[in-house]
């Protein structure tokens, strides 16, 4: 009798657990975001607890693929900063399914969920809606802690969404994502986590401190933003990596301060370093010194979309639908005001990690919006080319133009069919925002392991 009773109780418990597992995603399902157009794909948002004792939780937003999501891969997106929101920047300003416009959302015709199930993560805790109840966590966060928490997030998220466990997984990001993305991928391999990791893609990434920052002077000079004399000062008096290092440590010398001030005067405060060719959103002009500033000039692009995103995500009705809450902050912001990241981590080179991933059979794509002066393409291209030589990879696609809509969309080079570099023509630091169609073509080719489109020359016969 005792045995039978135990079996009955065990069966009931198992059924309850199954029902609980099945109901977890439903609890985070979004019926519809306020003001959004009607769509057929599902959306989910909510929290994954990373540390029960410290009550630390990371916030995510999942936009399933527009069509046939069961056959599409899962793509995790991580914005940089360090300390900036993947949901506010990536999802709502760049390549998510919607963009704010006034009090409503409009459909993004070049959303990346056309090709994949897109998972946006606000990381580390203290960014966006992610939080730690123990505020001491915010006092010193570093790359190692971020990678570890991101791995725990994925493990718990897959428990919540088991239908994704066997899907192809790609990890993508930009800017300081040049640290977040490869470090997480490397940790996945080291931990032997049972994820089907296929590749990583990083845009305008910070890979090596000196190379990346010192490329800025030549970029400014070649684009006519600084004079010959100022360029000479960068090469002979004080370079950009020295300036950045001294500013971070609060020890800017008079010599370096002079060079920096001279460059700033010539460039002017009305040029956005993240896209040097386009106009700025005047309402955001005072915040151009912030970590991220998506400012564009195009008939198709709302140059003030970041401002609109901040307003939208601070609406109570929006937060309620997202199952989000503000913990320890009074308002949601694109980049964290409470997180104190260890800025010495900026000097940790991640190029060796890319090499390790390639050796492990993970496809790596590094791409650059070619109008970005913050992490210029010249430094990035040099680093990727150097890595290919170090790994002994032969060039399988020689440096060439690639196309979208019969126009040159950028340039690309592929090494060993596993390591790729590409530029996106006319794109900013956040390429999918300023060149959404070209970025989607690049993204689609990357997921499919296909070469970027080449020009097809059609010759009209001469009639005599």
Of 203, 205, 202, 199, the closest CA to residue 73 belongs to: 199
For the segment 240-284, what is each residue's pLDDT rounded down to a tens digit?
A: 999 999 998 999 999 999 999 999 999 998 888 999 987 766 544
Q: What is the DSSP letter of 70?
A: G
Structure-model confidence comparison of residues 286 and 462, the more confident one: 462
Range list of H helices, 207-293 = 209-222, 228-236, 240-249, 254-267
For the segment 5-50, what is each residue's pLDDT rounded down to a tens digit?
A: 555 444 444 444 443 444 457 889 999 999 999 999 999 999 999 9
**Residue 460: inside a domain, yes or no?**
no
Confidence at residue 290, expressed as pLDDT on a 0 to 100 scale: 41
Which of 336, 429, 434, 439 is catalytic? The answer is 429
- Which domain, by its residues, includes 426? 31-208+342-448
**Residue 310: inside a domain, yes or no?**
no
**Residue 317: inside a domain, yes or no?**
no
Contact 410, 401 (CB under 8 A): yes
Long-range Cβ contacts of 297-301 (<8 Å, 24+ apart): 298/434, 300/436, 301/433, 301/434
For the segment 48-75, what is each residue's pLDDT rounded down to a tens digit?
A: 999 999 999 999 999 999 999 999 999 9
Q: Determine the Cα–Cα distance for residues 376 and 211; give it in Å rounded to an integer.
A: 10
Q: Determine the Cα–Cα distance for residues 69 and 297; give it in Å rounded to an integer.
A: 34
Contact 102, 28 (CB under 8 A): no
In this prediction, residue 459 has a pLDDT band, given cuts at 50, 70 and 90, of very low
- Within 8 A by CB and 6+ apart from 342, the residues are 140, 141, 142, 143
Phi and psi (nearest 5°) for 292?
Answer: -130, 145
Confidence at residue 314, expressed as pLDDT on a 0 to 100 scale: 96
Confidence at residue 302, expressed as pLDDT on a 0 to 100 scale: 61
**Residue 401: inside a domain, yes or no?**
yes
Same domain for 117 and 204: yes
Confidence at residue 285, expressed as pLDDT on a 0 to 100 scale: 33
Two tokens, residue 58: 């990371």
Confidence at residue 18, expressed as pLDDT on a 0 to 100 scale: 45
Same domain for 187 and 82: yes
Last residue of a domain, one of 277, 305, 333: 305
**Residue 313: inside a domain, yes or no?**
no
Last residue of a domain, one of 251, 283, 305: 305
Token pair 């966590």: residue? 137
| Residue 407: strand, helix, or coil | strand
Of 424, 432, 447, the closest CA to residue 370 belongs to: 424
For the segment 112-156, what is each residue's pLDDT rounded down to a tens digit?
A: 999 999 999 999 999 999 999 999 999 999 999 999 999 999 999
Last residue of a domain, one of 305, 325, 354: 305
Same domain for 415 and 368: yes
In this prediction, residue 456 has a pLDDT band, given cuts at 50, 70 and 90, of low
Q: Respond yes or no: is residue 149 known to be catalytic.
A: no
Same domain for 219 and 175: no
Q: Is the pLDDT of residue 235 over 80?
A: yes
CATH number at residue 223: 3.40.50.1820
For the segment 418-447, what is each residue's pLDDT rounded down to a tens digit?
A: 999 999 999 999 999 999 999 999 999 999
Of 411, 335, 307, the closest CA to residue 369 belongs to: 411
Which of 175, 368, 373, 428 is catalytic? The answer is 175
Same domain for 76 and 7: no
Same domain for 190 and 241: no
Confidence at residue 294, expressed as pLDDT on a 0 to 100 scale: 34
Q: Which string of b and e fits 340-358 if b means at least 16 CB within 10 Å?
A: ebeeebbebbbbebbbebb
**Residue 3: inside a domain, yes or no?**
yes
Same domain for 39 and 159: yes
The structure's pTM equals: 0.89
Confidence at residue 356, expressed as pLDDT on a 0 to 100 scale: 98
Same domain for 256 and 150: no
**Residue 431: inside a domain, yes or no?**
yes
Structure-model confidence comparison of residues 458 and 174, the more confident one: 174
Number of domains in the chain: 3
Q: Is the pLDDT of residue 220 over 80?
A: yes
Compute the residue count for the chain. Answer: 464
Structure-model confidence comparison of residues 343 and 3, the more confident one: 343
Token pair 């126009």: residue? 407
Contact 345, 82 (CB under 8 A): yes
- Within 8 A by CB and 6+ apart from 5, the residues are none
Same domain for 225 and 185: no
Q: Respond yes or no: is residue 323 known to be catalytic.
A: no
* CA atoms within a 13 Å half-sphere pointing along the CA-CB vector of 434: 28
Contact 456, 395 (CB under 8 A): no
Confidence at residue 102, expressed as pLDDT on a 0 to 100 scale: 86
Same domain for 167 and 53: yes
Q: Is the pLDDT of residue 110 over 80?
A: yes
**Residue 299: inside a domain, yes or no?**
yes
Q: Respond yes or no: is residue 186 known to be catalytic.
A: no
Same domain for 242 and 169: no
Q: Is the pLDDT of residue 295 over 70?
A: no
Same domain for 242 and 177: no
Cα of first residue to Cα of last residue in the chain, in angstroms, is: 101
Which of 372, 373, 434, 439 is catalytic? The answer is 372
């Amino acid at each position: 009798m005792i045995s039978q009773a135990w079996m009955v109780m065990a069966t009931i418990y198992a059924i309850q657990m199954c029902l609980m597992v099945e109901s977890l995603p439903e609890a985070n399902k979004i019926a519809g975001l306020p003001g959004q157009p009607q769509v057929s794909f599902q959306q989910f948002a909510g929290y994954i607890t990373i540390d029960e004792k410290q009550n630390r939780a990371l916030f995510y937003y999942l936009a399933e693929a527009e069509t046939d999501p069961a056959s599409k891969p899962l793509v995790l997106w991580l914005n940089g900063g360090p300390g900036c929101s993947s949901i506010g920047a990536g999802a709502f300003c760049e390549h998510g399914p919607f963009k704010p416009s006034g009090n409503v959302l409009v459909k993004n015709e070049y959303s990346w969920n056309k090709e994949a199930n897109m998972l946006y993560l606000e990381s580390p805790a203290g960014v966006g809606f992610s939080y730690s109840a123990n505020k001491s966590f915010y006092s010193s966060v570093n790359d190692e802690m971020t990678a570890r928490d991101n791995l725990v997030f994925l493990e718990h998220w897959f428990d919540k969404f088991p239908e994704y466990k066997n899907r192809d997984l790609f990890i993508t990001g930009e800017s300081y994502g040049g640290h977040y993305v490869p470090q997480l991928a490397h940790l996945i391999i080291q931990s032997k986590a049972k994820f089907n990791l296929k590749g990583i893609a990083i845009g305008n990434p910070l890979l090596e401190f000196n190379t990346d920052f010192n490329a800025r002077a030549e970029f400014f000079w070649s684009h006519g933003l600084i004079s010959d004399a100022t360029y000479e000062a960068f090469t002979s008096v004080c370079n950009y990596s020295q300036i950045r290092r001294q500013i971070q440590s609060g020890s800017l010398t008079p010599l370096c301060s002079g060079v920096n001030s001279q460059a700033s005067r010539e460039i002017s405060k009305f040029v956005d370093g993240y896209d040097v060719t386009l106009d700025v959103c005047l309402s955001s002009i005072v915040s151009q010194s912030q970590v991220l500033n998506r400012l564009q000039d195009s008939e198709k692009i709302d140059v003030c979309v970041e401002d609109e995103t901040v307003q939208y995500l601070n609406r109570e009705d929006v937060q309620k639908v997202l199952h989000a809450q503000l913990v320890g902050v009074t308002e949601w912001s694109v980049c964290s005001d409470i997180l104190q990241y260890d800025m010495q981590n900026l000097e940790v080179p991640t190029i060796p990690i890319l090499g390790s991933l390639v050796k492990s059979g993970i496809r790596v794509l590094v791409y650059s919006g070619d109008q970005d002066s913050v992490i210029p393409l010249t430094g990035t291209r040099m680093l990727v080319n150097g890595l290919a030589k170090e790994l002994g990879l032969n060039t399988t696609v020689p440096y060439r133009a690639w196309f979208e809509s019969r126009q040159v969309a950028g340039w690309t080079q592929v090494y060993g069919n596993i390591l790729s570099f590409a530029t996106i023509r006319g794109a900013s630091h956040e390429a999918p925002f300023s060149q959404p169609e070209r970025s989607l073509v690049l993204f689609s080719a990357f997921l499919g392991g296909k070469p970027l489109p080449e020009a097809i020359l059609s010759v009209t016969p001469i009639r005599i």
